[in-house]
Amino acid sequence: ALGDVSNGKLIARDDSGTGLVDPSGKVLVPLLYDGVSPVDQGLVKVTRGNRFAYVRLSDGKYLWKEDGFLLPSSN
């Protein structure tokens, strides 16, 4: 399911989790998180459990993550 639109990005959800896609359907942030909140054009806040991290959209890398944030196996 596609949800809110923010900064030209769509929040996408399925059985595996929540992520972010662009209008063409390209996955920008894998659907592996409990929550995704775009911060600006190039930065997204992701949550897993009650911990959070920031992901850079340019390369998909974590810019910062809270102590105890559990990384998805694909990153």
Kindly report the number of other CB atoms within 10 A of residue 66's CB atom. 12
- For residue 65, pLDDT over 70 is answered with yes
CA 52 vs. chain centroid, Å, equals 10
- For residue 13, pLDDT over 70 is answered with yes
- For residue 44, pLDDT over 50 is answered with yes
Task: Judge whether 53 and 46 are in contact, CB under 8 Å.
Answer: yes
Question: How many helices (H) does the chain have, and how many strands (E)?
Answer: 0, 8
pLDDT given at position 7: 66
Question: Nearest Cα to 44, choosing from 25, 65, 69?
Answer: 65
More confident residue, 34 or 74: 34
Q: Classify strands 2-6 and 9-14 as parallel, antiparallel or unpaired.
A: antiparallel
Query: What is the residue extent of each domain of the chain?
Result: 2-65
- For residue 75, pLDDT over 60 is answered with no
The label of the residue with tokens 């993550």 reads: 65
